[in-house]
Amino acid sequence: MLSEKTFYAIITVVIILGGIGLGVAYEKSLSTAPVTSTTSSTGPYSLTLVISPNNWFNNATIHHRQPAYFVVGPNGQLESSAKIMLPAHRLIQLTIIDYDSGVTPNIGPNGTSNNSTYAHVIGTVGGVEYLYNGTSQFINATLSGNASDNITIIKGEGWAISQLPWNNTLGGWEVTHTFTILYNGQIVVNIPTFAGNNPSGGAVTFAQFYLNNTGNYVWQCYVPCGDELNGWGGAMATAGWMTGVVVVY
C-alpha cells in the first residue's frame, strides 16, 4: 500500500472501556494525518473505529455481552457511532481496530443467510483492504496460505485483501464483522474484518474510499452478532452498536 512512500507512522490507541484496557499499535505508511480527522479541507480525512465485544446491551442481565463499534475521538476518547460525519469528495482513510474474534458461519442480511458478497471488499481504492497485527498464529497460517482466495502478501506492507475466505476446518467465513455503507439500499462500501481465532482478537484493518454524494447513508454490520431474531436483534438493530447513520456533507 502506498509503497512509494518511505514515511512510517506508529499509531497507538489505548482504550479503557468498562474497566477493561484495550491497546494496539501498528507500523505502516498511512498518512501524516491525525488518527480521527484532518485539519485540511481538501486532504485525506481519517476515521478510526474500535470494535469492542464486551458490552452489556441496555445494561440488562437477560442480554448477553454484545459487540459495538465506537468512534475514537480527537483525544482518544470513545464516542458513539450512531451518527458518523464524513466529507464528500475527499479520500476517507478508515482504520478499524477489532478486538472481537472467531469465524462466522452466517453472513448476510439475516441470521440464517450465507451471502459471500459480504466477505468481499467493495468500494475501496484498489478494491482491497489491508490487514495488520494479527495477534494469532491462526491468522498468519490461514491467510498467508490462501493465495487462491485472492489474498496477496506484500512484505512489510500488511496483507492486501480483496476477499476473506471460507475456512473449511472451522466451518465459517474468516469474517468477524463488516463495516458496510449503503445508499438507497445499495452497497457502496463493504469492509470485512477478521481478528483471528484468538479470544483476545486484536487486528487492524485499513481501507481507503470516497463518498461522492452528500446525504444520509446507513452503515450496518452484516455478521449477525446480536441476540434474538437469529442474531439480528439487540446490538444489530440499535444505532451506535452494529448500525447507524453516515452523514456525508
On whether residue 7 sits in a domain, the answer given is no
On whether residue 26 sits in a domain, the answer given is no
On whether residue 18 sits in a domain, the answer given is no
CA distance 136 to 239: 31
On whether residue 136 sits in a domain, the answer given is yes
Q: Which residue has the cell 493465495?
A: 147
On whether residue 146 sits in a domain, the answer given is yes
CA distance 25 to 246: 27
Identify the CA nearest to 178 among candidates 188, 168, 169: 188
Give me the CATH number covering residue 193. 2.60.40.420
pTM of the model: 0.78
Number of domain units in the chain: 1
CA distance 158 to 1: 8
C-alpha cell at 28: 505502516
On whether residue 3 sits in a domain, the answer given is no
Per-residue pLDDT tens digits of the chain, which is 249 residues long: 333 332 223 233 333 333 333 333 323 323 323 333 444 578 999 999 999 987 877 665 555 678 999 999 999 999 999 999 999 999 999 999 998 888 899 999 988 899 999 999 999 999 999 887 554 444 443 444 433 344 444 444 577 889 998 888 888 898 999 999 999 999 999 999 987 766 667 788 999 999 999 999 999 999 998 877 888 988 999 999 999 999 999
Distances (CA, A) of 99 to 20, 95, 190: 12, 13, 19
On whether residue 112 sits in a domain, the answer given is yes
Domain of residue 133: give its range. Answer: 32-248
